[in-house]
Amino acid sequence: MSNPYGIEGSHVFITGGAGFIGTTLAARLADANRITLYDNLHNNALQSSPVRDHPNVRLVQGDVLDLDNLRSALSPDVEYCIHCAAIAGVDTVIKNPLKTLEVNILGVFNVFRAAADLGGLKRIVDFSTSEVFGAHAYNVDEFTINPSVTIGEARWTYAISKLSGEFIAHAYHEQFGLPTVTIRPFNVYGPNQVGVGAIHHFVVRAVRNEDLFIHDDGSQIRAWCYVDDFVHGVLLTLSNEIATGRSYNIGNPRSTVTTYNLAKMVLVAAGSDSQMRYRKMGFQDVALRIPNIDSARRDLGFEPQIELDEGLRRTVAWYREKLAAA
């Protein structure tokens, strides 16, 4: 089956490939390409993904901190490398700030060192995060970052580590001519999400009619992006030459809502009897996060298609079916 991205008959290498976004990327490309998923299986979405048994998909179990294993897994015919692997999730980051820095900085160095040896590399994509913009990010563009973070506040370790990764990617492009692209995801959600995420938490508990826990008073504002739209945005960067050396926000500014209203929307989508409960956070949260995606629109023709109510219906349906089969 062909795809609209001009990527066919190629070898695509995805770190963190067994994760939520990695498996969705693989599913979009696998029919027309060979895919190598490189992952330590810490968050394993592959077990519930349709690409698990796809003949064009190969899993290599490994860690991005293992440079020798990375170099071995990155065969010489790899043309596209997408680096999704990272430590994420506020609770995990707070408990393991040093590991977060190591994986999210040294891991980027290792992936780029290994990919720089490939003679036929057409694109290497690095995933950053919307958290690089700090606690208040309204209509933020790709070019200027003024993060308002607090030294000593462990939850910002993740943002700073990912911002360092952006500088590493840019330096490889400037110094060695590597065809890099940096992607900043804005609150991606959808079927088969594993690990962390407000929608994942709300949907799973709503389907089970369990209490939904909302941090603080639920006034935090987020713009949510359905995973199919996000993956579409990522894949548009693979063959578009104007994207080389650039950074892009990929999200859906139209799907903006408070956490409180998000929980209410999930309850409606699930037809759930769950109750909403409030829980005090022990760390600084992001109050506002809405992207400006003008560059992605202009350069890539990116436009998100799935609005929040539809995305929630699809996500609820997927989890309901999965939980019923368990």
Q: Please report which confidence band the pLDDT of residue 1 belongs to, taking 50, 70 and 90 as the band edges.
A: very low
* Parent domain of 127: 11-189+226-254+286-306
- The answer to whether residue 2 scores a pLDDT higher than 60 is no
Q: Which CATH number covers residue 139?
A: 3.40.50.720
Q: Is residue 195, in this structure, part of any structural domain at all? A: no
**pLDDT at 162 (0 to 100):** 94
Both tokens of 234, joined, read: 């990522």
Decide if 128 is inside a domain: yes
Instruction: Compute the mean pLDDT over every residue in the chain, rounded to the nearest whole number.
Output: 92
Distance in angstroms (rounded) separating the CA atoms of residues 247 and 225: 18
Let me know if residue 271 belongs to a domain.
no
224, 308 in Cβ contact below 8 A?
A: yes
Q: Is the pLDDT of residue 138 over 80?
A: no
Give the pLDDT confidence of 282-315 residue by residue, as tens digits. 666 777 999 999 999 999 999 999 999 999 999 9
Domain count, the chain: 1
* Residue 79 within a domain: yes
Over residues 140-153, the mean pLDDT reads 71
pLDDT reading at 324 higher than 70: yes
Q: Are 27 and 7 in contact (CB under 8 A)?
A: no
What stretch of H or E contains 227? helix 227-236
Q: In this structure, are residues 28 and 231 in contact, taking their beta carbons and an 8 Å threshold?
A: yes
Comparing 23-27, 44-48, 101-105, 146-150, the range with the smallest average pLDDT is 146-150
Beta-bridge partner residues of 127: 183
Does 272 map to a domain? no
pLDDT tens-digit readout, 232-271: 999 999 989 999 999 999 999 999 999 999 999 999 999 9
Residue 280, pLDDT score: 86
In a domain, 51, yes or no: yes
The residues near 267 (Cβ < 8 Å, ≥ 6 apart) are: 206, 212, 274, 276
Give residue 289's region: left, alpha or beta (phi > 0; psi -120 to 50).
beta
State yes or no: pLDDT of 95 exceeds 80: yes
What's residue 155's pLDDT? 72
Predicted model pTM: 0.95
Residue 119 located in a structural domain: yes
User: β-pairing, 221-223 with 256-258?
Assistant: antiparallel
Q: How far apart are CA 158 and CA 38, in angstroms?
A: 21
1: in domain: no
CA dihedral over 260, 262, 266, 268, signed as positive or negative: positive
CA pair distance 319, 316, nearest whole angstrom:
5
Residue 53 has a CB neighbour count (10 Å cut-off) of 7
- Asked if residues 221 and 289 have their Cβ atoms less than 8 Å apart, the reply is yes
